[in-house]
Chains A and B, each alone.
Chain A
Amino acid sequence: MAQTQLLDEQDDGQIGECHVMVTVEDRTHPQTPPTGRTHPYQDTPPFSQVDDQPKDSKLRGFRRIRKNQDYVHITMAKSSISRLPSEWWKTGIAFIWAGLNLVLTTVMITIVHDRVPDKSVSPPLPDKFFDYVPRMEWAFRVTEVIGMILVILWFIQWLSLKYRAIVGRRFFFLQGLLYMYRMVTMYITTLPVPSMHMECAPKLQNNSHEKLQRVYQLVSGAGLSITGSHRMCGDFLYSGHTVMLTLTFLFIYEYSPRSRLWTVYHVICGLLSTMGVACILLGHEHYSLDVVVAYFITSRLFYWYHTMANNQALRGSPHNYLNRVWWSFMFSFLEKNVKLSVPCTFSWPISVPSVSFKNPCRSYSKVQSSREE
């Protein structure tokens, strides 16, 4: 009886609609009549609810579509090459690049310190911000505290990303590049101290032993005044503090989800970053020009790099002027095997019960699950 029913329905199908019916060999279940009198799926065990949430819904969708028997499942061979390879050794190279530039910057600060004109000879340059806002003593400490908070937040966020290697590589490369540019601008023209309150350490004309000690002190104190390591003058254009504040904020914003809860986090970090930069100026520690140029260079470099990295269309295009920067060979070395824009996925280095962090990157989950097939 079922057989005749099947024939009738097939006959209708051929006359009424123009469907292509293809049977695929790996189909384990027999063809069901469209009215769904018997459910072959009822024989299979129920799906587990805990993990593979998107797969579950897709199979449920399979069931729905199956009834009408008008879809074709084309099995794709799973590609063995991952499109977001880790390549920790490249991250190591980027780290060495950043470290090298930090040390060289420190050496440069020591050199430049000797060339800063004395306060009495060259008074501070006129600055519009300083004309309007008088100096506040505690401001620079606030900046450094905020900077440390942002760096710690970014570090925690970085640890919990899945594609740590790639993101870490980018951070180190950009930081190294920005410090390198800073070395150049500090060296070629030396600005005088921005304010009479600055106490510069005495100059050492040819005493290289002392200079090395200063370098070591600065590096170990991470260049912060709070630790008492930074008593040298001359590193004004452009401001390294602004670079760190802006860069950590840009990275925090870029590599975190975009949902409403996270927007609060973004706003907080943005406010912290802005406050930190404002406090640099409030403390009269840098000229306004230093801060503006630092912000400009940091943000442009960040956008430039990420546009080059995320737009595959640009990589082979002949009209890609972005390749004309001198560091494009370094870029292609680092990002050659990264074929996608890095999705926002979190994975804890230590396994935490997943109940509390159920699918945090909600807005990216659709994209993610289809990409990770």
Chain B
Amino acid sequence: MNKVASWSEDEVSLWLTDQGLQEYTEALRKYDGLALLNLTTEDFKKTPLSRVTSDGGRLLLEKIETLKIEHHMNGHTNGHMVLNHNGNVGSSAKAQRNGMANGFHKELVQIPMPEPVSPQFSPEWGKTAVALVYALCCFVFTTVVISVVHERVPPKEETPPLPDKFFDFFGRVEWAFTVCEINGMVLIVLWIIQWSLLKHKSIVARRFCFIVGTLYLYRCITMYITTLPVPGMHFKCSPKVNGDWQSQMRRVMKLIAGGGLTITGSHNMCGDYLYSGHTVMLTLTYLFMREYSPRRFWWFHWGCWSLCAVGVFCILLAHDHYTIDVVVAYFITTRLFWWYHTMANQQVLKETSQSNFFANVWWYRFFQYLESNVPAVVPRHYQKPFSWRSLHWSHVKYTRIDSD
């Protein structure tokens, strides 16, 4: 027996006859299944039904209700909860007295079960672009401040280098700073390669740019407010230009173009001692590389750590920075990195509350903007940066490769 709604007129009259309600067959001759279902007591007050009915259509309506239940039961036999289900459906009218008025049925209740969704990490390259612009602004600003501070460094004849404990123990080694810069470049190249293999590049890049930008911004402040003298007599500072802003601009451009490295010959300005930008870059690239690489690559972590440590040691060996510069730089870099990542990985710290002291930092709003849509800890997934179908990769380096 198919659904009532799809019954034809013949089937309706057949059913009426079966139920012993022949008196309605003539009046309901034109009624099909749907119309039958839509019958109400109002219809029985009007002609032609009012003429044939003896009880106001009550019996017929009850039988139609029974029909509805019956068909629902036949149709939905798998696991749906049926309210007001009374077992033997074809029985008497007493079965329908269930306290629900007007035939309001609730045969099945679907309980939506949320499937556990894996957290979605949307790339949001727009936010990464904002962070990148921020970092670039901080770099340019730092360069300008270095140029300004250079004018204020007291000449080494007037103010000799300050006493420093490390310098007392270790004499100067000439080639050490070159080693440091080479280490720095190696670390940066390795980090860029690692970054390009990450799946969630955008989020990680955003974090790197933000942290680097903020560190350089802090550096601007500390460099500017108090100027330390040159750490060693070996320094050759370029002459001061004293207000000639065109040559200052040229110096700034040269410094930016050379990446701030002495190796490229772009950095012969003095005064940017507290705190050490080289230490910042070495430490930060190491921290990021360790954070976003698999845990079991211990040899990789140790290699990077030794590159970083040797680089920092060589800064001091070359007498290119005071010890205090290096120590403060290390402290600020590590604290900021851990602070940021703790905030990013705990949902509870992304909202302000009485116990969330981390929200008291000045960059909290910017942080919320960058990290509001990152729902969980960024997983360490890797993927090939480009799809190289022509090349045949026989050896899979990273096990968690996404094949999307």
Q: Which residue of A lies closest to B274 (CB)?
A: A289
Contacts of B366-393 to chain A: CB distance below 8 A:
377
Flag if B162 contacts A128 (CB, 8 Å): no
* Contact (Cβ within 8 A) A126 B342: no
Assess the B342–A122 pair: CB atoms within 8 A. Answer: no
Q: B357 near A307 (CB under 8 angstroms)?
A: yes
Q: How far is the CA of A262 from the CA of B337 in the complex (A)?
A: 35
Docked CA distance A269–B153 (Å): 38
Given known A306-B357, A311-B355, contact A189–B226 (CB-CB < 8 A): no
- Chain A min CB distance to B72 (Å): 23
* In the complex, number of A-B residue pairs with CB atoms less than 8 Å apart: 125
On whether A117 and B226 interact (CB within 8 A), knowing A188-B324, A307-B357, the answer reads: no
Residue B162 contacts which of A122, A292, A317 (CB distance < 8 angstroms)? A122
How big is the B interface, by class? 35 or more
B162 touches A311 (CB 8 A): no
Q: A126-B154, A303-B358, A307-B357 given as contacts; is B162 within 8 A of A190 (CB)?
A: yes
Complex Cα gap A15–B99 (Å):
9
Q: Are B342 and A292 in contact (CB under 8 A)?
A: no
**Which residues of chain B in 69-121 are interfacial with respect to chain A, using CB atoms and an 8 Å cutoff?**
99
Taken together as a complex, chains A and B put the C-alpha atoms of A322 and B361 apart, in Å, by 16
Known interface pairs A117-B160, A189-B163, A189-B164; A300-B224 also in contact (CB < 8 Å): no
A293 lies within 8 A of chain B by Cβ: yes
Interface residues of B in 146-193 (CB under 8 A from A): 152-154, 158-160, 162-166
B342→A321 contact, CB < 8 A: yes
Given contacts A185-B327, A237-B324, A292-B222, contact A314 B342 (CB under 8 A): yes
Chain A residues bordering chain B, tally (CB within 8 A): 46
Cβ A117 vs Cβ B342 within 8 A: no
Contact B358 A313 (CB under 8 A): no
Could you say which residues of chain A place their CB within 8 Å of the CB of B164?
A: 188-190
Contact B349 A311 (CB under 8 A): yes
Chain B, Cβ-Cβ closest to A299: B360
Q: Which residues of A contact B342 (CB under 8 A)?
A: 314, 319-322
Q: How far is the CB of A340 from chain B (nearest CB, A)?
A: 10
Say whether A185 contacts B324, CB under 8 Å.
Answer: yes
A121–B163 Cα gap in the complex (Å)? 12
Q: Which one of A125, A190, A303 lies within 8 Å of B227 (CB-CB)?
A: A125
Contact with B along A175-199 (1 / 0, CB 8 A): 0000000001101111110000000
Q: How far is the CA of A235 from the CA of B185 in the complex (A)?
A: 37
> Is there a chain A Cβ closer than 8 Å to B41's Cβ?
no
Is A288 close to B, CB under 8 A?
A: yes
Additional A-B contact list (16), CB under 8 Å, known A189-B323, A190-B164? A15-B99, A117-B162, A125-B228, A128-B226, A188-B164, A189-B322, A292-B225, A297-B331, A306-B357, A307-B356, A310-B355, A311-B356, A317-B346, A319-B342, A320-B346, A325-B338
| A interface residues, Cβ below 8 angstroms from B | 15, 115-117, 121-123, 125-129, 184-185, 187-192, 237, 287-289, 292-293, 297, 299-300, 302-304, 306-307, 310-311, 313-314, 317, 319-322, 324-325, 341
Enumerate the 7 nearest inter-chain pairs by beta-carbon distance, A residue then B residue, closest first: A321-B338, A310-B355, A289-B226, A303-B357, A189-B324, A319-B345, A188-B323
14 A-B contacts (beta carbon < 8 Å): A122-B160, A126-B152, A127-B226, A127-B227, A128-B224, A188-B166, A237-B324, A289-B274, A293-B222, A304-B357, A319-B345, A321-B339, A322-B342, A341-B355
